[in-house]
């Protein structure tokens, strides 16, 4: 969804801070003189709220801008790794420090690694946040043939585990093969829908400053196969932890997923 909580929080922080500052610099002294005989000096309600909420808003804004930001998984494109209704924490500093709102990188502390699950602003419409697994790094050659992945000419092994039920955000279910994929040392599970045809491509070269991403639910994921590469400037951060999980179909919490590390 394109609800821009970051901008709302930014404006709320700035406005409350300006009101509190204006009160401290210009209004507080006048109020004290005008109410010097009063037992208790009463603040105007808007000033009272501004001075009360500004420190809280500022702390939240700084934490979510530079350390960790919460996200909710809206779809099943990363099943079975992440489920619809998972609430996750995203590390905002592993891939470099970026200014909030304008998203300009001011400090490079690292870069996405192959196999990371990454949150980014969707290149066709950056007002939407997407989450996928990093498959190709800058300079990599990627192929996808008959539902099997090739990176730099090396076939990525897939080990069949079992038959599973994949579930999308509407609650629809279908039979899928659950496999373990070894992405050059990063082992993770994927879903393959054998009833759907393979969206094959050959020898795509990932450009400099770009990343190729895919969902673990390979046949139910809108990813780089369809809309292209993710530029570095669109990166939000690395998904690291499931802190809450809500099963919308069953209307209950998935307690077994809380605190689960993401890899």
Residues with a catalytic annotation lie at 77, 132
Integer Cα distance of 99 and 233 in angstroms? 11
Strands 97-98 and 105-107, how do they pair?
A: antiparallel
Residue 174 · residue 193 · CB < 8 Å: yes
Q: Is the separation of the CB atoms in 207 and 141 below 8 Å? A: no
């Amino acid at each position: 969804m394109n609800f821009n909580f970051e901008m709302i929080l930014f404006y709320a922080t700035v406005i409350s801070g300006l009101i509190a500052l204006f009160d401290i610099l210009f209004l507080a002294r006048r109020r004290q003189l005008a109410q010097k005989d009063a037992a208790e000096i009463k603040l105007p309600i808007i000033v009272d709220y501004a001075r009360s909420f500004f420190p809280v808003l500022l702390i939240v804004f700084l934490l979510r801008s530079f350390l960790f930001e919460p996200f909710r998984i809206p779809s099943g494109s990363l099943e079975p790794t992440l489920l619809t209704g998972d609430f996750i924490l995203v590390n905002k500093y592993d891939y470099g420090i970026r200014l909030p709102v304008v998203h300009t990188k001011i400090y490079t502390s690292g870069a996405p690694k192959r196999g990371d699950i990454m949150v980014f602003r969707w290149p066709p419409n950056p007002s939407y946040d997407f989450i996928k697994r990093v498959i190709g790094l800058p300079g990599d050659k990627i192929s996808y043939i008959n539902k099997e992945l090739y990176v730099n000419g090396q076939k990525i092994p897939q080990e069949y585990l079992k038959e599973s039920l994949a579930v999308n955000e509407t609650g629809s279910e279908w039979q899928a093969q659950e496999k373990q994929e070894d992405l050059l040392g990063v082992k993770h599970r994927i879903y393959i829908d054998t009833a759907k045809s393979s969206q094959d491509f050959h020898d795509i070269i990932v450009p400099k400053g770009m990343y190729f991403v895919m969902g673990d639910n390979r046949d139910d994921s809108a990813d780089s196969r369809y809309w292209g590469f993710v530029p570095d400037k669109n990166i939000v951060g690395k998904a690291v932890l499931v802190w809450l999980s809500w099963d919308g179909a069953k209307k209950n919490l998935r307690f077994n997923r809380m605190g689960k590390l993401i890899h």
